[in-house]
Amino acid sequence: MSQPDAAAAAIVEIDGSRLIDRLRRLAAIGARPDGGLNRQAFTPEEGEARRLVANWARDIGMTAETDAIGNLYLRYVPDGTDGQAPVLGGSHLDTQPAGGWLDGAYGVIAALEAVQAIAEQGVPLARPLEVVAWVNEEGSRFQPGVMGSAWFAGHFDLARAPQIEGSDGEALDHAIVGYKAATPDIEERETPFPIAGLIEAHIEQGPILEREGLKVGVVEGVQGIRWFRVEVLGEAAHAGTTPLGARRDAVLAATRLVQALSAAMADPADVLRFTVGRFVVSPGSPNTVADKVTFTIDMRHPDPHELDKGEATIREICAGQAAPCTAEVTVTETLSPVAFDERVVAAVAGAAEALGIAARRMASGAGHDAANIARVAPAGMIFVPCHGGVSHHPAENADEADLIAGAHVVATAMARLAAR
Amino acid sequence: MSQPDAAAAAIVEIDGSRLIDRLRRLAAIGARPDGGLNRQAFTPEEGEARRLVANWARDIGMTAETDAIGNLYLRYVPDGTDGQAPVLGGSHLDTQPAGGWLDGAYGVIAALEAVQAIAEQGVPLARPLEVVAWVNEEGSRFQPGVMGSAWFAGHFDLARAPQIEGSDGEALDHAIVGYKAATPDIEERETPFPIAGLIEAHIEQGPILEREGLKVGVVEGVQGIRWFRVEVLGEAAHAGTTPLGARRDAVLAATRLVQALSAAMADPADVLRFTVGRFVVSPGSPNTVADKVTFTIDMRHPDPHELDKGEATIREICAGQAAPCTAEVTVTETLSPVAFDERVVAAVAGAAEALGIAARRMASGAGHDAANIARVAPAGMIFVPCHGGVSHHPAENADEADLIAGAHVVATAMARLAAR
């Protein structure tokens, strides 16, 4: 075991120009006239992307496998590692209908570059490496999203597929069959299988790294989400004849609550997310004092105790500061936070440090495939900065140097995780 | 002139039970199952109400006349007063589609009772008295509202009638012809004619008199109205990934503005009216930081200088407190305040005082026919309390004693105005 042990401190640098070249070639599949991508799940475009990536992998001696739902696994099995649980890197190949060239694709191509660099450099490993592309992460054509990884983790039942209709009317089971039939040379594989570790690289989809001038985010987990609906009830009245003191104005009460909540949710650590994105007034007539406002709260934090504290604050403020109106608070959705495996997080952080790449630990505000896999195996993520935090948009972009730096970290962290 | 001079200090009490009885009988025309009224302008129901009221007037020796638009004038011309400009009392007979039994009807029936009491008591007069019912005050079937009085005052051009389509598709000119043809015994009259004074009695449609335990409001004028649209522009962002400090959240900025405006508009004198009745968020998605909020402001005050000051405050707050968003303020409607003629206001106040009826001076928050007539003749209004300020609703109601007290004031004030 002396050789793999050496890999535990390995530093692996990938071929940056090949990484960017492959990303550009992949971005040609499903390209939109506006520079964005439309490569939705289980479409011929996603199938073509799958074939392209599988062929790149085969060219360097990897094998391509799939499973019942169509996830793609590109396997690199060094001598003496067969039978060991693999270390995976990857993300997804599908995009939003008006998406960008990096969301998903970057994680897959960075992992492919990582495996190729490790193989080319002969880094000794104790475990196989795999590049994975989970199907239907975006959930734009078929709901729910993060479907391939949820199914792998046992949270999505494929028996539902005939009842799930796509946005274009095709049933999910039919779409999967067609998708897989287009690449008959990709072998079937039994799932689930043990995973020793998984690393998903992704653009941040937020502004933090860019703002702080950092190259890499070491993602410690995915924030928990709690959604609320607040219904503020007042009394309708004539705007011209009703004195201000005699009113129970739902707009005044609801705007006061939003301001008080916003002040109470201020977080010096800048981790908590608090958003009022919907605010609907009834009757909504300029000359009528409103009798009802319904607004939403989207609260996110990686720590479930902080979410509980936030909920208590929301309930206290809405109960105490709505007078002369009343406010009723209802929780409409709850997603528990995901904490990534500390071994994977440490491997990513250690890789960035060994490479001298400026990084910070952070939480993911959005859901990702890695959060599903984290429920059944050690998993983690690497974020790279993107321009202005923009994603799910044709303008989605990132500096090539940052994409390359992130892939160095993926390669080094995968090599280190596969060392034992 | 000694006899009419005596009327300048007259006290006239009307027949309260006859007043209430007539109001109840009138309320049977267009009655809704829910207790409300649907007697819209130029409908057969309004025509039936017109005929009933005209017949009551003829029974006591008055004559019924109409004009090109269909306004109804019921004339009482004591000997020696023919040729003098009359004193008018009245309001309108049409209602909202789901209106109440007092809005409009009370002013007409109170004036009819006033004239009948003056005639029965032989109060000496220098001028004729008339009961008027202006057409289409509500503006629910045909826009604009307060049409009959606006036309009388030269602010509505009847040549537009063929182009004005009712909510049921009938053209206004056709509706007027049919309405007038249903009462061919009502004679045509030349307009406009000089008016010595006009008093419109009306339920307050607000809560002030009820709250203060007063029987009568001496209306000094109709508030000016200024409407604004405030457009707050921020930047859309992901609710999960964008730190609070990096946001330009239009909902936070707009709610802050509404709170600041509301605080700045506090009026110790309780005269200013300030209402944000519409507040529309874009894109309005719970997990997206809003990039745009558009809200309305309805500001009312009887003093145009106060409206100017209020507008300056609105502009200052929106310019200074929207950051990091921007806010653009647009005036969307302006109605100048109307100050009623001090002779009429004094006659109403003096009548209430002479009758020992508790009264206060106040402004009208809503528009009325009297505000149109005030532009061409001395005019004023009397308010009586209504239950909970409710109007334009089947639940509209008032205490019978208050309706009677108000009619005493109408009768006394009309007699005094007609004394010279």
Query: Per-residue pLDDT tens for A185-200?
Result: 999 999 999 999 999 9
CA distance B270 to chain A (A): 6
Boundary-marking domain end, from A315, A335, A355? A335
**Of B237, B251, B278, which is closest to A258 when you measure between CB atoms?**
B251
| H/E stretch holding B159 | none
Backbone φ and ψ of B318, nearest 5°? -70, -35
Output the pLDDT for position A3.
57
What are the distances in angstroms from CA A396 to CA A212, A385, B194, B222? 19, 11, 73, 56
CA nearest neighbour of B241 among A172, A329, A206, A313: A206
B23, B105 contact by CB (below 8 A): yes
Question: Average pLDDT, stretch B69-74?
Answer: 98
Nearest to B275 among A207, A273, A287 (CB): A287
| B168 & B65 share domain | yes
Q: Number of folded domains in chain B?
A: 2
Phi, then psi, of B116 in degrees rounded to 5: -65, -40
Instruction: Check A206 against B267: CB less than 8 A apart.
Output: no
B206 and B236 fall within a common domain? no
Q: What is the DSSP string of B72-102?
A: EEEEE--TT-TTSPPEEEEEE----TTB-SS
Output the pLDDT for position A8: 79
Contact list, A139 vs chain B (CB under 8 Å): none
Segments in A248-303 forming alpha helices (H): 250-264
- On average, the pLDDT of chain A sits at 95
Model pLDDT, residue B262 = 97
Q: Can you read off the two tokens belonging to residue B307?
A: 């409206």
Q: Which element (helix H / strand E) includes B327? A: strand B326-335
Closest-CA distance, A384 to chain B, in angstroms, reads 13
Mean pLDDT score, A353-360: 97
Indicate if B322 and B367 belong to the same structural domain: no
Q: For residues A258 and A317, give the distance between their C-alpha atoms in angstroms, rounded to a whole number.
A: 10
Residue A315 shares a structural domain with residue A255:
yes
Residues of chain B with pLDDT > 90: what percent?
Answer: 87
CA distance A201 to A19: 13
- Cα B346 to chain centroid distance, Å, stands at 20
Q: What is the mean pLDDT of chain B?
A: 95
- Report the chain A residue with the minimal C-alpha distance to residue B205: A241
DSSP state string for A4-66? HHHHTT------HHHHHHHHHHHHTTTB-TTS-B---TTSHHHHHHHHHHHHHHHHTT-EEEE
Domain co-membership, B24 together with B146: yes
Average pLDDT over residues B206-232: 95
Residue in the block written with tokens 């307050």 = B204
Quickly state the pLDDT bin for A4 (edges 50, 70, 90). Answer: low
- Rounded to whole angstroms, the Cα distance separating A25 from A31 reads 10
Place of tokens 């061409």: B376
Identify all chain A residues contacting B268, using CB atoms and an 8 Å cutoff. none
| pLDDT at site B326 | 98
Report how far apart, in Å, the C-alpha atoms of B289 and of each of A221, A227, A293, B251 are: 22, 14, 18, 8
A224-233 and A292-301: which strand pairing? antiparallel
Q: How close are the terminal C-alpha atoms of chain B, in Å?
A: 8
Where is pLDDT greater, at B243 or A416? A416
Domain of A199? 2-222+337-417
pLDDT over threshold 60, residue B3: no
- Tell me what pLDDT residue B333 has: 82
Q: Model confidence at B365, in pLDDT bands (50, 70, 90)?
A: confident
Out of A262, A278, A286, the one facing B296 most closely (by C-beta) is: A286
Same domain as B203, residue B100: yes
User: Can you tell me whether residue B398 is helix, strand or coil?
Assistant: coil
Token pair of B345 as six digits: 């206001």
Confidence at B1, pLDDT banded by 50, 70, 90:
very low
Question: A293 and A267: one domain?
Answer: yes
Closest CA to B293 of A64, A279, A257, A403: A279
- Of residues B8 and A181, which shows the higher confidence score? A181
Whether residues A294 and A399 fall in one domain: no
Give the tokens for residue B7: 């009327």
CA distances to B105, B352, B404 from B215, in Å: 18, 9, 10
When scoring B279, B289, B333, B392 by the number of chain A Cβ atoms within 10 A, the one with the most, hence best to mutate, is B279
Average pLDDT over residues A62-84: 97
Q: What is the pLDDT of residue A2?
A: 44
pLDDT at A6 over 70: no
Which DSSP category does B278 fall into? -
Q: Is the pTM above the cut of 0.80?
A: no
Reported as a pLDDT band with limits 50, 70 and 90, residue B420 is confident
Residue with tokens 């779409």: A175
* pLDDT of A414: 98
Range with the largest mean pLDDT of B106-115, B134-143, B239-248 = B106-115
If asked whether residues A321 and A357 sit together in one domain, one would say no
Domain boundary among the residues B294, B311, B335 is at B335
Backbone φ/ψ region at B201: left (φ over 0), alpha (ψ -120 to 50), beta: beta
- Give the rounded percent of residues in chain A with a pLDDT score beyond 70: 98
| Residue from B247, B287, B334 whose CB has the most chain A CBs within 10 Å, to mutate | B287
* Least Cα separation, residue A366 to chain B (angstroms): 6
Binary contact (B277, A289; C-beta < 8 A) = yes
Task: Answer with the residue of higher pLDDT: B346 or A6.
Answer: B346
Residue A48 sits in the same domain as residue A188: yes
**A contacts of B207 (beta carbons < 8 Å):** 241-243, 246
- Gap between the Cα atoms of B68 and B63, Å rounded: 17
Q: Give the percent of chain A with pLDDT over 90.
A: 87
Measuring CA to CA, which residue among B415, B322, B326, B403 is closest to residue B91? B403
CATH number at residue B128: 3.40.630.10
Averaged pLDDT for residues B328-344: 93
A40 and A171 share one domain: yes
What Rg do the C-alpha atoms of chain B give, in angstroms? 24
What phi and psi values does residue B83 have, to the nearest 5 degrees?
95, -20
Residue B2 clears pLDDT 50, i.e. is over it: no
Beta bridge partners of A301: A224
Q: What is the mean pLDDT of residues B177-194?
A: 96
The residue of chain B nearest to residue A253, with distances taken between CA atoms, is B259
Question: How far is the C-alpha of A201 from the C-alpha of A217, rounded, in Å?
Answer: 10
The pLDDT value recorded for residue B4 is: 55
The distance of A352 to chain B (nearest Cα, Å) reads 22
Evaluate whether A278 touches B281 at the Cβ level (below 8 Å): yes
- Verify cis geometry, omega within 30 degrees of 0, for the bond prior to B324: yes
Mean pLDDT of A345-367: 95
Phi/psi at B115 (nearest 5 deg)? -65, -40
The answer on pLDDT for A1 being more than 50 is: no
Smallest CA–CA distance, residue A219 to chain B, in Å, is: 12
Amino acid at B43: T
Whether A148 and A261 share a structural domain: no
Taking the C-alpha atoms of residue A208 and residue A206, their distance in angstroms, rounded to an integer, is 6
Residues from chain B contacting residue A225 (CB–CB below 8 Å): 240
Cβ–Cβ gap B227/A284 under 8 Å: no
Instruction: Write down which residue in B315, B335, B355 finishes a domain.
Output: B335
